């Protein structure tokens, strides 16, 4: 009799959980109209921003665009961070001329803001929603690409869509805060070796032990619009919260298509090395073959050939996944035996 009762309770819980996900997903979809949600993607990947190279002036236009979006939503500035900018320097091999002087140290900036949680206890913990907003700039020589002469690496997939998702999440959570606090970060200089995220991990304006999870976004391209790829799938205990969010938007979850190697090439890594559970949420990749490589770091990575219906599912499922994790009273952790488990135990003294 007890076993039957427990099974009945579990069944009821599952039904209620699915129902709740359906309700919230509908709210997110209604709140996040494509016209508004895709505007950051269109702007950041526009020709006017010339590929958002960290050493070019257009990157500052992108940074200001993000910071003003955060300001308009009412995000708080982190203590010690002025104007939502965390400045740092990028060392480059060849000298460039800036403000009339030659230098091989180029100024750059991460953009960040936060929203306080609603729970009296959990608000002292943070999850980070992150992406990188830089890309690789302009080609030395124009090339014919898909029927047109082009020289701008617009980076719609890598990673304007990720930054758009973080901006859209900030806009949503400013109106619908979660139990935990959320820190929104867009990094610069990822394409130069994860420089911005490494700087943040070494100079965190919030104690790292208060950051309990990072859901990063980075992308190459996609070849499966029925799924997202979770780089780091089966490595943290938050997978189910992400899976429920994807299911609510009709998406499944794929693992890293190159046997976990992608985990070590994006902005999730510096925080993971500190012990913070930190996977990367990516567009659906069933393999890393020609369809991906034909867009990844190519001149053809543009909004015009992006499946924007899929882009909306990607953005909305990311927001719901973040909400599930931020509202879950159980702190996420690395699974037993993971290479970062001991760092997690040391950071949180567990």
Distance from C-alpha of 33 to C-alpha of 318, rounded to nearest angstrom? 15
- Asked if residue 276 belongs to a domain, the reply is yes
- pLDDT value of position 170: 99
- Asked if residue 327 belongs to a domain, the reply is yes
**268-308: per-residue pLDDT in tens?**
999 999 999 999 999 999 999 999 999 999 999 999 999 99
| 177-201 residues labelled b (16+ CB within 10 A) or e (exposed) | bbbbbbbbbbbbbbbbebbbbbbbb
- pLDDT value of position 15: 47
**Burial category of 97 from C-beta neighbours within 10 Å (exposed 0-12, middle 13-18, buried 19 and up):** exposed
pLDDT band at 16 (very low <50, low <70, confident <90, very high): very low
- Residue 13 pLDDT exceeds 90: no
- Asked if residue 114 belongs to a domain, the reply is yes
- Residue 99 pLDDT exceeds 90: no
Ordered DSSP codes for 139-190 = EEEEEEETTEEEEE---IIIIIHHHHHHHHHHHHHHHS--SSEEEEEEES-G
- Per 3-state DSSP, what percentage of the chain is helix, strand, and coil (rounded to 5)? 45, 25, 35
Q: Are 131 and 166 in contact (CB under 8 A)?
A: yes
Q: Are 78 and 205 in contact (CB under 8 A)?
A: yes
- Asked if residue 8 belongs to a domain, the reply is no
* Global model pTM greater than 0.85: yes
- pLDDT value of position 4: 58
pLDDT band at 136 (very low <50, low <70, confident <90, very high): very high
- Asked if residue 230 belongs to a domain, the reply is yes
- pLDDT value of position 85: 98
- pLDDT value of position 94: 80
- pLDDT value of position 5: 45
Specify the number of domains making up the chain. 1
- Residue 84 pLDDT exceeds 80: yes
308: tokens are 């924007």
Domain that includes residue 212, residue range: 28-348
- Residue 261 pLDDT exceeds 80: yes
The percentage of the chain sitting over the pLDDT mark of 70, rounded to a whole number, equals: 95
As a whole number, the mean pLDDT across the chain is 94
- pLDDT value of position 3: 53
**312-336: per-residue pLDDT in tens?**
999 999 999 999 999 999 999 999 9
pLDDT, mean of residues 141-150: 90
- Asked if residue 272 belongs to a domain, the reply is yes
- Asked if residue 19 belongs to a domain, the reply is no
CATH of the domain at 306: 3.40.630.10
* Cα–Cα nearest to 311, from 266, 251, 267, 262: 251
- pLDDT value of position 20: 82
- Asked if residue 23 belongs to a domain, the reply is no
**214-228: per-residue pLDDT in tens?**
999 999 999 999 999
Q: In this structure, how many other beta carbons lie within 10 angstroms of the beta carbon of residue 311?
A: 23
- pLDDT value of position 102: 83
- pLDDT value of position 17: 65
177: tokens are 């805060």
């Amino acid at each position: 009799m007890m076993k039957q009762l427990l099974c009945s309770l579990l069944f009821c819980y599952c039904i209620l959980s699915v129902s709740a996900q359906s309700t919230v997903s509908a709210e997110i979809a209604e709140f996040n109209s494509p016209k508004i949600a895709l505007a950051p993607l269109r702007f950041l990947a526009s020709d006017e921003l010339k590929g958002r190279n960290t050493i070019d002036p257009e990157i500052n236009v992108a940074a200001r665009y993000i910071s003003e979006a955060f300001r308009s939503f009412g995000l708080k500035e982190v203590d010690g961070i002025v104007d939502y900018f965390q400045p740092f320097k990028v060392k480059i091999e060849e000298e460039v001329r800036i403000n009339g002087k030659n230098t091989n140290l180029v100024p750059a900036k991460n953009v960040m803001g936060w929203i306080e949680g609603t729970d009296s206890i959990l608000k002292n913990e943070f999850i980070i929603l992150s992406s990188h907003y830089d890309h690789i700039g302009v080609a030395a020589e124009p090339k014919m690409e898909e029927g047109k002469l082009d020289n701008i690496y617009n980076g719609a997939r890598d990673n304007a869509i990720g930054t758009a998702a973080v901006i859209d999440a900030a806009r949503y959570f400013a109106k619908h805060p979660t139990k935990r606090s959320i820190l929104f970060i867009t990094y610069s200089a990822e394409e130069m070796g994860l420089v911005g995220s490494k700087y943040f991990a070494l100079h965190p304006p919030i104690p790292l032990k208060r950051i309990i999870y990072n859901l990063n976004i980075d992308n190459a391209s996609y070849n499966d619009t029925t799924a997202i790829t979770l780089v780091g799938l089966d490595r943290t205990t938050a997978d189910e919260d992400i899976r429920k969010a994807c299911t609510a938007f009709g998406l499944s979850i794929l693992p890293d298509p190159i046997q976990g190697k992608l985990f070590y090439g994006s902005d999730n890594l510096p925080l993971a090395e500190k012990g913070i559970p930190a996977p990367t949420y990516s567009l659906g990749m069933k393999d890393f073959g020609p369809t991906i490589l034909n867009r990844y770091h190519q001149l053809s990575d543009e909004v015009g050939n992006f499946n924007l219906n899929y882009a909306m599912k990607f953005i909305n499922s990311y927001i719901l996944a973040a909400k599930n994790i931020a509202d879950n009273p159980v702190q996420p952790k690395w699974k037993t035996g993971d290479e970062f488990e001991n760092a997690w135990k040391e950071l949180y003294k567990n």
